[in-house]
Structure 1
Amino acid sequence: MDAKSTAVIVGWFLVTVLQRCMCGRKYYYRVENLDNREVTEVPFQTYTSTSDVGHCARLCRQQDCVYLRHDGDVCSLYDVLIYVGLSPAPSAIYYRTCPTRLGFVFAESTNLCFKLRTETKTWDESQNTCAGDGGRLVVLDTDDKYNYVKNYIINVSATGTSTVWVGMKKSTTIGPFRWLTGSTYTTKWDAGEPDYVSFQNCVYLYRNDLSDTECLDQRRSVCEIILQ
C-alpha cells in the first residue's frame, strides 16, 4: 500500500469514528501501519460482519481490547500488544487503544492513558515495567499533564502525597535533567531543587513539586501510554 492510499484510509477512519463512535473516539487515535508484516498474535475475538471500522471500534471498546484490526468486513480484536515478523501479510491497519484492563485510565484532556503503580521499584525498574505495558514513565512537560497527573495520584491513592517516579533524569553529574522525550521544560521544581548532587540523577514527584534523588531509591511510579 502506498503512502497516498494509507493516508486516505487513515483519514476515512478518523471521519468514520467521529461520525459513528463519538463516545470513545479518542480511544483510537494511534494508528499502527503494519502493512507487509506478519502479526504473530492471535485475536481473542473475530467478527465477520462488520461493515466499517467504527462498528469494529465499538466492539473493541465494549470488550476492552488493546488493538483492533478491520480488514474488509472482518473485525479482529486483540488483548495483547501487537508484535510483527518479517513475512508479508495482506494490507491492514491496526489501531491502538487504551488498555484499561491493565489498570490504565483514559485522560481525554491529554489524550493519554495513565496508571499509578503501587509497588516500589528503582527508577530503571519502573521504566522497564512501564515499557512492558507498552508505555513509559510519565512525562510532565506541559502544565495540563502536570496538573492532571497530580490530581490523578491524589484521587486514586489513599497516600496521594507519597513520592512517585516520573520520566525525567540526567545522564551526567551536571545535567541537565531531561524528560524521556528530550525536553527540559518544567516550572515545577521544589524549593532548592534540583540541587545537582552528583549521585542524584533521577526525578520524583512529591506533593506538588519535582525533586532529584538517587535512581536506586525504591518508589512508586506513574506510567503513561501515548495514543496519538
Structure 2
Amino acid sequence: MSQLPKRTPAENVSTAHRTPSEDVPTAQADTRRRCPNCDILSRCSALVFDPRCPSCYCPVVDGYVLVDRLNICFKASTSKKSFDDARDICSQIGARLIVLDTDDKNAAVSRYVNASRGEANYYIGLTDMVTENKFVWGDGHTVGFTKWEDGEPNDFHDQDCVLLTPWTTRWRNAPCWDRYKYVCEKHPW
C-alpha cells in the first residue's frame, strides 16, 4: 500500500459547513481511496490507497460520502425518479439503492442527507413487490431492522416501495411509480 500525503488541519473540517465545491479533494488525493479513521461528516488525516483492491474505495469526488466506522459509502440524488429508474441508475454506476439494515446506518445516512440536502423523501432499497407485507432488501435479504413511521406500512393504493424521511429518520411506504429522490450505496465488497 502507498500512503498519500497527510492533509492539513484546515482540510479536516466537517463537510456539513462546506459547499459542494469545497468538498472536492485536493489534486494529490486519488479518487480510489479509503479513509481508515473517518466518521460521518469528517475528513481524513491520512489517506490510504491500495491498488490491489480497486473495488474498495469511495469515490468522494463523484459526490459519495464515506462513513468508515459503519463501512458505508453513499450518494444522495438531487433528482427525482421512479423506484425502478432509481434502482437502474444506481446499478449503472456500480451501486445499489441503499440498505439501511441497522439503526446506526439509518441514523448516519438520515443525518447527512437532512443536513446536506434538506427535507425530501428518498427511496431506499426495500420493497414488498414480490409478496405483500414481506419486505425484502434489493440484495434479497428479508428485512430485520425497521424504522417505520406510525401507521406504516399501510399499503394504501398499492404502496410497495419504501422511502426514508431523513428529518425523522423514519420510513414510510409509497407507490413505486411516484418520483422521489433516492440514495445509492457503493457496497464495500
* 2:134 corresponds to: 176
Displacement of 1:93: 4.5
Displacement of 1:187: 3.0
* 2:187 corresponds to: 226
* 1:87 corresponds to: none
Which has the bigger relative contact order, CA under 8 A and spacing at least 6?
Answer: 2
Structure 2: gaps spanning 5 or more residues:
7-26, 34-48
* 1:123 corresponds to: 83
Residues of 2 paired with 1:63 and 1:172: CA distance? 41
Q: Give a deviation string over 1:150-187, Cα, whole Å, max 9, x none.
A: 10111211x2x311110100124623111123131133
* 1:185 corresponds to: 144
* 2:29 corresponds to: 62
- Could you state the TM-score of these two structures normalised by the residue count of structure 1? 0.59
Bigger fraction of residues in strand = 1
Residues of 1 paired with 2:96 and 2:104: CA distance? 18
Q: Percent of counterpart pairs with the same letter?
A: 29
AA in 1 matched with 2:62: L
Structure 1: gaps spanning 5 or more residues:
1-15, 24-59, 67-76, 78-91
Is the alpha carbon distance of 1:199 and 1:173 closer, same or farther for their aligned partners in structure 2, counting shifts above 3 Å?
farther
Displacement of 1:227: 1.8
Residues of 2 paired with 1:176 and 1:200: CA distance? 13
Residues of 1 paired with 2:89 and 2:54: CA distance? 23
AA in 2 matched with 1:63: D
Contact residue 134 and residue 142 of structure 2 kept, 8 A:
no
Query: Which residue, 217, 223, 227 being the options, matches 2:178?
Result: 217
- Could you state the TM-score of these two structures normalised by the residue count of structure 2? 0.70
Q: Name the SS of the counterpart of 2:78 in structure 1.
A: strand
- Structure showing greater radius of gyration is 1
